[in-house]
Every structure is written in C-alpha cells, then in structure tokens.
C-alpha cells in the first residue's frame, strides 16, 4: 500500500467502520488472536532536559529518585510476580545519575529475570547500544516525540534532547549494534496529527528497509496531564486514534502496534480490536512505584488502572489470548 | 486400503497432518483443534514456552505420550541462535527432535538457506533429529538430506499468507527427488491446498494460521484432516493424467459396438 493511500485513510471522508474491519482481519492473520503483554519499569526520573510536556522536565520541582540495585531488584521481582516476562526499562536522561554503567547493570539485573528486556533511554552511540545488548537487552525504544521540526524545537528547549537529528538516527544505530526490536513513535498532541502520522509512517518504511533484521513497533502515546501543567496544542480525539491505528496496520501489516495505560479501559478494548498487538498493564510511571507507590513523581497520569490479571481476563473475554512470553533470553 | 504410516527417523505416524500451536485465541481452542485434526505431531515455538516453569501452560495442554511435541527455533536469525535454542530445549527434557527455523527477516519470516544448512549440520552431529523449514529450493533440499536431516519442510507460500501452492513446480522437483519425507509447510490456507500437496506426493503437510484464526478452529482442523486424507488416498490410488483435449468418460466406440 502506498503512502498516498495511507493519507486518504487518515482523512475523515474515509468511513471508519470498514477501515477498522480490514485492519482487524489483517492483524488476526499476521499476529493471530493474541495480545502481547509487557510492563514498563522506571529506573529514574532524574533528567537534565527541559521538555515542556513531560513530568520529569528539569525545572519541575518534583520528588526525584534513582533506584539503586537493591531497589531495582525488588521492583523487578514485583513485576515478574505479576506474570510479566517482557519488560521495558525507562529512564530520564542524566549522565551523573544514570550513566552507561548504571543502565548496563539495570539491564543485567532484568536479563536474569525476564525473557525479553527493552530499554527506553536517551539515544546512545553504537558502542553504548552494543554494551546494552551484551548485558541482555534486545529492544530499543526511541520516540521522536514530534516529527515537525518547529514543534520539536518549541517543546525541547534545553538539554541534549534538543538535538532532533541525533534522536531520529538512534533506531538505525541501535539496529546496527544488533538490537532485535526497534520502537518508534510520535507523542500525539504536539503537532497536527495527520502530518505527524505521515512522518512516522515514512520513518517506519525506511527502517523496514535499512534495519531489515529488526522487528518494528509503533507507539502513539497521547499527551496526558503531567507536572508542569502542559496542555496539548493539537488534541487528538478517540476516533482519530482508532483511525490512526487502523490506517497504520493497513500500511504496515507486520509492525507491532503498542498501547500504554495512558488510555482508558474502554478505548483500549476498541484499539485491541483495531490493530494493537502489544499492551502494557498495571503500569506505574514513577521510579519505585510498584513497591512504593507515589514516593516519587510519575511521568504521566495513568488512565487504565486495572491490574495485569484484570487486563488479561478482559482480553480473554474479547477473544484474545494474553501472551506473557514471546521471546527467549537465550536469543540475546 | 492398506495401512499407510508415515515414517520419520524410524518413528511411525498414522496422521499426515502436522499442527502449529501459535495464534490460537486460547489454549482450549488449540487443544480442541489438535483433537479434531487427529494429528500426532505438533510444533511449539521455544520462545513462547517457559522452560523453567514447572506448569508451563502450553506444554501442559499437550499430551506428550500421544503427540510428538516438536520444538521449533522460530525467532532465531542465525545458526548459532538456533543451535542454542535447540540445546536448551533438550536440556529441559523436550524430545531431541527439532523443527529448525532460521528466519532473519521478521517481516516475511522467510528462511535463511545458508544459516539453515549450517545449523542442520551442527545439530545432526549433536544427535538431534532435524526437520528443517526451507524455501522450496530443490538443491538446498538435497544438501540438507545429505547432511542427515530427517525430513525437508519446503514452504508452499510465505507463512500466514494462505496463498496455497505458489511454489508448485519447485515442490514437484523436491518431492520427486527426495530420499527423506517431504512435509509441505507454510502458506496452506484451505483444506483443498492440503489435498493438492498430498495429491502431488508430499508425505505430510503442516498447518497453523488457517486453523488457529478460523471462526471455529476445531471444525477447520477436522476439514484439514479430511483434505489431507483425501489427497493422500488420491495419490495412492493413481490419479488420471491431465490431458489437453476432452476424452469422453464413456468412449463412443463401446457405445457403437453395443448397438452393432
């Protein structure tokens, strides 16, 4: 399918019902009647970047916390006890608090406990990614946030994250280092969403050619209220989000589409049947939040606060088999 | 018709339909399909099972006394990873049979011929019974059987496409020349595709997506069972050759002869 066709699918003149039905059938054929589950685990909310939409933004006077090894192990054991076998390690960017060696040790701790470990941290160079791979990570998530350069510059006002191009290149560098899963995404609300979707799709198509040995996943987080009081300038409605997920599925039949607990349960049900293939559940977005909730500030507010077991039960009701393990640590 | 077992590496199977266990809406739906299909060989992706868990739900749902549980190495992108997975499975007590899958491109899941051959050579030396998933490449099939694999498993069409025997001409050559059983794997979307492969002389077929995502997986499994059996019986009975011109089923000569 062409990008032009994708653009027409994003337009409200294309009826949503048939679009979703086609996306659903394509998803089932490629991924089966399944939903992959994973949990994010926040290592640190220390951050040197000023990003006006983010709870962890440097100027925000919030409770900051970087987990030590013992705390990390406790958090990981908590998440593993809930049944998760896939974990995403998330961290703010602060070279003093979360150095390469720190991240490496966190990955190593997770590698011993989970079948699949991915990282969502600031862009690294190829050597950095190789070190993470060697420690046991197999996936890298780097959202571009805003593909529109002006919008990007407007919200990333200071710190290393100002460098748009370094961020854009990161997934390719991670693939070159041997990472098996690449996660990209646009933070919806920062710029007009149809243009952002076109840019995300173009990025995905390019990665599928250049990083052909890596599985691609797409995320479409919508901005949520966070510390700092940011209000999204270009809001995206529920209908828009469903349309975007379905259209991306038709353009990229083999790409995973990821959904977080930013969205409320009823919409998550709809999206599960429109092309989403991976979901987080029971998430905490503050470091240490699984063991000690609310001791530090979270990155954003959670809308779906059901437990992982409740989410799994709901998926079964929808006719989807919740999959906890679809990878093996032996493959890293 | 006389009994017609399929023999692979000295083990006899009465069913010629193999089942994959992925993509089902539930473990119960998978079990029902296994039952209805009459299969004796099910493949299980090693990356999906928790070999450390004492009550692994997928393995627990399959009766290892009646079924051959054939671990597969899906997810491996080179020989080294495939060998590592196979060794882990054997160490965890699974049979030393392995369906070898080396698929470096996660989009098409097409098999890598170079790494597959390399892995097969290593695994055979390590004492595994190796059933390699390959593109329909007759020369690669010969190379693998020379390396000591127990079967070859050429694809009909890319995994999950349900397109049927798109590689028909190459499959025909493989079937004619193979000294090991040929199991047609991947791309079979309808019982008629399974029947067609069996009519051509394939020794068995493997089906997963078409059954797992059907509205009624058990009923679809039963339909594939019939398709597979019908194709096999037709092959054994001797199919009429294809001709370019019509030929009456009651030849005119005889009709005239009776009147005369």
Q: How far, in Å, are A100, A129, B10 from residue A94 at the CA level?
A: 10, 17, 61
Within 13 Å and on the Cβ side, how many CA atoms surround A245? 31
Could A328 and B85 be called an inter-chain contact, meaning their C-beta atoms sit closer than 8 Å? yes
DSSP H helices in B62-112: 79-91
Residue ranges of chain B with per-residue pLDDT less than 50: 259-260
CB atoms inside a 10 Å sphere around CB A69: 12
Domains belonging to chain A, first-starting first, are: 3-326 (3.20.20.70)
> In sequence order, what are the beta bridge partners of A278?
A36, A258
The DSSP 8-state label assigned to residue A217 in this structure reads E
- State the DSSP string of A28-57: HHHH-SEEEEEEEEEEE-----EETT-TT-
Which chain A residue has the Cα nearest residue B28?
A321
Secondary structure (3-state) at B8: strand
> CB–CB of A296/A287 below 8 Å?
yes
Secondary structure (3-state) at A249: helix
Which position has the token pair 């919409």?
A: A267
Q: Among residues B186, B211, B165, which one has the least CA distance to residue A28?
A: B211
Could A326 and B81 be called an inter-chain contact, meaning their C-beta atoms sit closer than 8 Å? no
Could B104 and A325 be called an inter-chain contact, meaning their C-beta atoms sit closer than 8 Å? no
Number of helical H runs and strand E runs in chain A: 11, 11
- State the DSSP string of B151-208: -BEEBSSSTT-----TTHHHHHHHHHH-SS-BEEES---SHHHHHHHHHHT-SEEEE-
Q: Which residues of A fall within a CB distance of 8 Å from B76?
A: 331
Q: Is A331 on the interface with B (CB under 8 A)?
A: yes
Q: Which long-range contacts (CB under 8 A, 24 or more apart) does B236-243 make?
A: B236/B1, B236/B4, B237/B1, B239/B199
Per-residue pLDDT of chain A (332 residues), as tens digits, is: 789 999 999 999 999 999 999 999 999 999 999 999 999 999 999 999 999 988 899 999 998 999 999 999 999 999 999 999 999 999 999 999 999 999 999 999 999 999 999 999 999 999 999 999 999 999 999 999 999 999 999 999 999 999 999 999 999 999 999 999 999 999 999 999 999 999 999 999 999 999 999 999 999 999 876 666 677 888 899 999 999 999 999 999 999 999 999 899 999 999 998 999 999 999 998 999 998 888 878 887 788 889 999 999 999 999 999 999 988 887 77
Distance from CA of A149 to the nearest CA of B (A): 30
How high does pLDDT run on average in chain B? 91
Facing residue for B213 by CB, picked from A29, A254, A331: A29
φ and ψ of B184, to 5 deg: -80, 125
Q: How far, in Å, are A162, A164, A227 from residue A51 at the CA level?
A: 9, 13, 11
Q: Among residues A259, A266, A252, which one has the least CA distance to residue A283?
A: A259
Beta-sheet strands, E only, within chain A: 34-44, 50-51, 86-91, 116-120, 139-141, 156-158, 181-185, 215-219, 256-259, 278-280, 321-323
- Show which residues of B are catalytic: 99
Number of helical H runs and strand E runs in chain B: 10, 10
pLDDT at B92: 84
Instruction: Give Cβ neighbours of residue A279 (< 8 Å, ≥ 6 apart).
Output: A35, A36, A37, A38, A258, A259, A260, A268, A272, A311
pTM, two decimals, is 0.89
> CB–CB of B58/B33 below 8 Å?
no
Tokens of A115: 């079948």
């Amino acid at each position: 399918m062409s990008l032009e066709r994708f653009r027409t699918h994003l337009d409200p003149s294309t009826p949503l019902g048939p679009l979703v039905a086609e996306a659903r059938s394509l998803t089932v054929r490629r991924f089966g009647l399944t939903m992959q589950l994973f949990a994010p685990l926040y290592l640190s909310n220390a951050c040197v970047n000023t990003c006006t939409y983010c709870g962890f933004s440097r100027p925000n006077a919030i409770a900051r916390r970087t987990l030590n090894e013992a705390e990390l192990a406790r958090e990981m054991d908590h998440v593993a006890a809930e049944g998760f076998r896939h974990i995403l390690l998330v961290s703010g960017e602060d070279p003093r608090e979360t150095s390469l060696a720190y991240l490496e040790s966190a990955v190593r701790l997770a590698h011993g406990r989970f079948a699949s470990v991915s990282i969502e941290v600031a862009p690294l160079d190829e050597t950095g990614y190789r070190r993470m791979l060697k420690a046991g990570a197999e996936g890298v998530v780097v959202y571009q946030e805003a593909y529109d350069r002006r919008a990007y510059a407007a919200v990333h006002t200071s710190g290393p994250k100002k460098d748009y191009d370094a961020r854009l290149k990161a997934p390719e560098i991670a693939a070159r280092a041997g990472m098996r899963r690449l996660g990209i995404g646009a933070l919806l609300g920062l710029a007009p969403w149809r243009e952002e979707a076109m840019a995300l799709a173009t990025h995905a198509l390019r990665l599928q050619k250049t990083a052909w040995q890596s599985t691609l996943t797409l995320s479409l987080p919508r901005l949520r209220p966070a510390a700092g009081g940011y209000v999204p300038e270009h809001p995206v409605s529920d209908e828009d989000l469903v349309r975007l997920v379905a259209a991306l599925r038709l353009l990229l039949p083999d790409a995973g589409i990821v959904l977080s607990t930013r969205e409320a349960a009823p919409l998550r049900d709809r999206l599960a049947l429109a092309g989403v293939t991976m979901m987080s559940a029971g998430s905490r977005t503050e470091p240490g939040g699984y063991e000690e909730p609310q001791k530090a500030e979270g990155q954003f507010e959670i809308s779906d606060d059901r437990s992982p077991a409740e989410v799994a039960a709901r998926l079964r009701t929808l006719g989807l088999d919740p999959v906890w393990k679809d990878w093996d640590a032996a493959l890293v | 018709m006389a009994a017609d077992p399929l023999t692979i590496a000295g083990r006899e199977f009465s069913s010629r339909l193999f089942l994959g266990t992925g993509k089902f809406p539930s473990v119960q739906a998978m079990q029902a399909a296994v039952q209805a299909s009459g299969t004796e060989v099910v493949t299980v992706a090693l990356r999906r099972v928790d070999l450390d868990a004492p009550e692994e739900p997928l393995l627990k749902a399959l009766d290892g006394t009646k079924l051959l549980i054939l671990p597969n190495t899906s997810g491996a992108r080179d020989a080294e990873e495939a060998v590592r997975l196979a060794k882990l499975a054997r160490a965890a007590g699974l049979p030393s049979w392995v369906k070898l899958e080396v698929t470096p491109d996660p989009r098409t899941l097409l098999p890598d011929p170079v790494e597959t051959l390399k892995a097969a050579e290593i695994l055979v030396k390590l004492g595994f019974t190796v059933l390699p998933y390959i593109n329909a490449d007759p020369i690669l099939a010969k190379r693998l059987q020379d390396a000591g694999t127990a079967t070859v498993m050429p694809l009909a069409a890319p995994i999950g496409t349900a397109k049927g025997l798109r590689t028909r001409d190459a499959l025909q050559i493989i079937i004619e020349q193979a000294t090991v059983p040929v199991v047609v794997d991947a791309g079979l979307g309808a019982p008629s595709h399974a029947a067609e492969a069996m009519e051509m002389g394939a020794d068995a077929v493997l089906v997963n997506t078409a059954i797992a995502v059907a509205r009624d997986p058990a009923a679809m499994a039963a339909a594939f069972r019939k398709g597979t059996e019908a194709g096999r019986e037709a092959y054994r009975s001797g199919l009429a050759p294809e001709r370019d011109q019509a030929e009456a089923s009651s030849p005119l000569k005889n009709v005239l002869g009776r009147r005369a």
